[in-house]
Amino acid sequence: MTQSNPRVAIVTGAARGIGAATAVRLAEDGFAVAVIDLDEKQCADTVAAIEGAGGRALAIGADVSDAAQVDAAVTRVAEQLGAPLVLVNNAGVLRDNLLFKMSEEDWDTVMNVHLRGSFLMSRAAQKYMTEAGWGRIVNLSSTSALGNRGQANYATAKAGLQGFTKTLAIELGKFGVTVNAIAPGFIATDMTRATAERVGVSFEDFTKAAIAAIPVGRAGKPEDIANTVSFFAGEQAGFVSGQVIYVAGGPKA
Ligand code: NAP
């Protein structure tokens, strides 16, 4: 891989948080990066950070749960940056509620973005990876996959992504494509900030309470996850597939 002909990576939900840090990290690793998020304009800061450091990036607005938008986005990546050989399925939403208050819409929205979105993106991108005989897919699961109060929808989707990961690893391995999942614990982003707001606690207090249960004694940063994606995306991880790594400052969060 050279700067004049870099491999191409796609990161979804890359306008902010873990996705933005991952896009920047993969650009530092030498990838040209497609920065996909719902609104193309929201991708500007991530693209500017990559280009400012001498990398190559392309902003694309697409809803990962919409098949036509996904196919158009992945085709555009292939045409404008090159065949995508790394895919990070990071886009995510929360619609937390206790089961008796959870609407069908809360359930469907979470399933659509996390599960349908990862399925559609992976199906569209695998074509380029299998043709090249090399590829990397990294799915964002969560410690919530182990169960979390108020997150029946999210926990189910994040556990589902682990089964999805292992199955794609089995199907795509013979084409040189590895598929792994990262299950973050508490990471300080807009997502955890929104949860604090929803439960009526300041983000500072919410973070302090989370840290009290984290063995390494600090909150996670988006870069902690980006570093792990970087490992999975590299040559050195070619014999690691179908794995779920908990990046949570301890065995669980
Ligand atoms: P975040 O700050 O809320 O960022 C998520 C991004 O995904 C946003 O830019 C959002 O766009 C985008 N997005 C949402 N729906 C989309 C769709 N249908 N199509 C395309 N993009 C969409 O979240 P984060 O904390 O960085 O989390 C990133 C991933 O890590 C998620 O999958 C999350 O579930 C997982 N995770 C996070 C934590 C944590 O503690 N933060 C822990 C475990 C797992 P908008 O801004 O337009 O909505």
Rg (alpha carbons) of the chain, rounded to whole number: 17
Buried b (16+ CB within 10 A) or exposed e, 130-161: beeebbbbbbbbbbbbeeeebbbbbbbbbbbb
Q: Considering only CA atoms, which of 231, 229, 235, 208 is closest in space to residue 219?
A: 208
Overall pTM surpassing 0.85 (yes/no): yes
Residue 46 has pLDDT above 80, yes or no: yes
Sequence-ordered list of residues with C-beta below 8 angstroms from that of 221, at least 6 positions apart, any chain: 21, 187, 188
Does the beta carbon of 249 sit less than 6 angstroms from any atom of ligand 1?
no
8-12 and 32-37: which strand pairing? parallel
Element (H, E) at 8: strand 8-12
The residue whose CA is least distant from atom 12 of ligand 1 is 13
Distance CA 24, CA 134 (A): 22
pLDDT digits (tens, 9 = 90+) for 125-155: 999 999 999 999 999 999 999 999 999 999 9
Q: Is the CB of 207 under 6 A from ligand 1?
A: no
With pLDDT > 70 as the criterion, what percentage of the chain qualifies? 98
SS3 for 180? Answer: strand
Across 218-244, average pLDDT: 98
Q: How many CA atoms lie within 13 A of 150 on its CB side?
A: 7
pLDDT of residue 252: 75
Residue 160 CB–ligand 1 contact under 6 Å:
no
What amino acid positions are annotated as catalytic residues? 154
User: pLDDT tens digit string along 47-100?
Assistant: 999 999 999 999 999 999 999 999 999 999 999 999 999 999 999 999 999 999
Q: How far apart are CA 135 and CA 129, in angstroms?
A: 5
pLDDT digits (tens, 9 = 90+) for 201-215: 999 999 999 999 999
Task: Tell me what the mean pLDDT of segment 175-199 comes to.
Answer: 97
